[in-house]
Amino acid sequence: MKEVLMYRGAERILKVCADLQIAQLAFGLNPLCKMSGVMLDDEGVYGTSHIGIGTSTLLGGKIKTKMHFDVLMWKPTLELDGKVVLKAGEWLT
């Protein structure tokens, strides 16, 4: 199977996939922060979440790749151990 994958260029695909590791998962907690279109500001807006993919060394991690990018989510829902703790961007108590 490895020979077939390598024949079809999978080595390059596997390298890209190795770079696509989760570096961070964070939640915006600042109710005074407003969406501005600037990622560093938008990440802090209450009711958002973002996931960082790629390099994590600048965050204290051990993953070093050629890239890092963040994906912002608006009004996320988070379930931990079968319990919803964040629903549509609102923390449940």
Strand order in the sheet with 83-87: 78-80, 83-87, 90-91
Q: Does the pLDDT value for residue 81 go beyond 90?
A: yes
Tokens 């050629």, residue? 66
11 inside domain: no
Tokens 């629903």, residue? 87
58 inside domain: yes
Residues contacting residue 84 through CB under 8 Å, at least 6 positions apart: 77, 78, 92
69 inside domain: yes
5 inside domain: no
Dist CA 21 CA 67 (whole Å)? 10
Q: 0.75 cut: is pTM over it?
A: no
* pLDDT attached to residue 14: 59
Q: What total number of domains does the chain contain?
A: 1
86 inside domain: yes
15 inside domain: no
36 inside domain: yes
- What are the tens digits of pLDDT across the range 2-61? 444 455 555 665 566 666 788 889 999 999 999 999 988 999 999 999 988 888 888 888
Dist CA 73 CA 42 (whole Å)? 10
Range of the domain at 86: 21-91
* pLDDT attached to residue 64: 83
